[in-house]
Amino acid sequence: KAGVTQTPRYLIKTRGQQVTLSCSPISGHRSVSWYQQTPGQGLQFLFEYFSETQRNKGNFPGRFSGRQFSNSRSEMNVSTLELGDSALYLCASSQRQGTSYEQYFGPGTRLTVT
Amino acid sequence: AQRVTQPEKLLSVFKGAPVELKCNYSYSGSPELFWYVQYSRQRLQLLLRHISRESIKGFTADLNKGETSFHLKKPFAQEEDSAMYYCAPSSGGSYIPTFGRGTSLIVHP
């Protein structure tokens, strides 16, 4: 199977701008989760999408949003960027069948806000 | 509030020694517990879940509800085990994980 892919891999934006990141899950996986990783706060869960619906949400402001398409690809958007949004953004796709669970991460998008 | 503590930032052992990476959590309800691992220059990956009760790469993790701990153990560490390990309890019934700050495991030859 092809792995989880994320685009772009690197991004530089200016404060106040907005950004859209994309994640393509493993074929057959319907759940996509997003995470933010920073040196200061560590790994934090942003949200999870399943079958085009946001199923779970972490503790982030409304500037962070996402969506999922019918092919399970997902995008996350950050509006009105702040310096503190500089981070590695990871996505993961997963599949749960009974007690079995598999989850695979993408390589991440490194966002730098200047 | 949900809390997870990995008390050691760094754990250094020699090859063949036992290793235990500690994780303590404070969570309401019955959380589902995960361990994640990130090897150098590789993607984050799920190592194991407490529900599966399986051994992955020789690692096991026992849930101790009384002590609210979920320590990761391996009887004989290998150099290839050197990595960053994250403990992440998640709300039972919903996938909303809270990650620990991670423990860097270094296994010396």
Task: Tell me the pLDDT tens digit for each residue of A23-37.
Answer: 999 999 999 999 999
Structure confidence by residue, pLDDT tens digits, B49-106? 887 778 889 999 988 888 889 999 999 999 999 999 999 998 867 788 899 999 999 9
Structure confidence by residue, pLDDT tens digits, A42-74? 999 999 999 999 999 999 999 999 999 999 999
A90 contact residues in B (CB cutoff 8 A): 44
Strands (E), B1-109: 3-5, 10-14, 19-21, 24-26, 32-38, 45-49, 60-64, 69-74, 83-90, 103-108
Nearest-Cα distance to chain B for A33, in Å, is 9
Which pLDDT band, with edges at 50, 70 and 90, does A1 fall under? Answer: low
Nearest-Cα distance to chain A for B45, in Å, is 6
Residue A106: its H or E element = none
Q: How far is CA A24 from CA A60, A75, A97, A98, in A?
A: 22, 9, 20, 24
How far does Cα A82 stand from its chain's mean position?
17
- For A105, the closest of B43, B88, B100 (CB atoms) is B43
Nearest-Cα distance to chain A for B48, in Å, is 10
Inter-chain contacts counted by CB atoms under 8 A, chains A and B: 46
Instruction: Indicate the SS3 state at residue A83.
Output: helix
Q: Cα(B11)–Cα(B4) distance, rounded to whole angstroms? A: 18
Q: Cα(B27)–Cα(B75) distance, rounded to whole angstroms? A: 28
The whole-number pLDDT of residue A11 equals 97
Q: Is the pLDDT of residue B31 over 90?
A: no
